Amino acid sequence: MLDIVLVVSSAVSQLATGWMGIQVSLKEGHRRVPLAIAFLALAVCGICATAVTGVRSNQSVVVATKIDKTTTPKEPRASIRITRREVITMGINQIVQMNIGFENSGDRLATGISHVQMVNFILSPYGEEDAFRLLRAELKNGGGESLSVAPAGQLLFTIDGPRLVAGDFLSRGSDEPQVVRDGRPLLVAGIIRYQSDDRSEATAEYCFYAMNPKVLVACSGHNT
């Protein structure tokens, strides 16, 4: 817009200058008619030159902008997402075991992967935030293993929980008994931290209640 204003202003200025020259020349009489014609020709040439210069300048800016947009490559990033939640063992006198699987859906290697987890009976739903505070503190202190996974690659963690006793199973008629201890359901939660690109880290979280081997209920938050 500014380029257009400048071009128009320059053209008007040159036209006014040419017109003043023509008027002065005509006042001098017929002998100055060729001079008036010369002023008019110069004014027209100046206006045309200004317009062409303005158009070329505007086109150069547009082309440069397009080149900048098309030549700036998107930086590759790793992206971890949870793909599997599975109960392995969850019976009387058994240690609870779970499989947690995830995939790198990004387009670069996910490095420095650390995983911390918790399987415990908590007071729902208030204990969820307490659980994640403990997990973040453990992660901050360097807890978990350090692994890597390629794009489209998958990784599986097996995590252990408490040993169950007969009193942890509440009978629900013909349905699968629900696992509860002292009125508290069994929470499974974890955080996966990884290097998403050369400059930044990212995390993936999972959180669910293992009601029984067949029913896993997602928490209201902490699932990414």
Write out the two tokens for 71: 């030549």
pLDDT, residue 131, reads: 93
- Residue 157 near residue 96 (C-beta atoms within 8 A): no
pLDDT value at residue 74: 80
The string of pLDDT tens digits covering residues 66-103 is 545 556 678 899 999 999 999 999 999 999 999 999 99
Give the integer Cα–Cα distance in Å for 192 and 110.
Answer: 11
Contact 114, 139 (CB under 8 A): yes
pLDDT, tens digit, for every residue of 14-43?
Answer: 555 555 555 555 565 555 555 545 555 555
Mode of pairing for the β-strands spanning 184-195 and 201-212: antiparallel
CA–CA gap between residue 190 and residue 188 (Å, rounded): 7
Per the confidence metrics, is the pTM higher than 0.85? no
pLDDT of residue 7: 45
pLDDT of 63 strictly over 50: no
Residue 12 pLDDT > 90: no
User: What is the per-residue burial (b if ≥16 Cβ within 10 Å, else e) of 72-94?
Assistant: eeeeeebbbebeebebeebeeee
Share of the chain above pLDDT 90, in %: 51
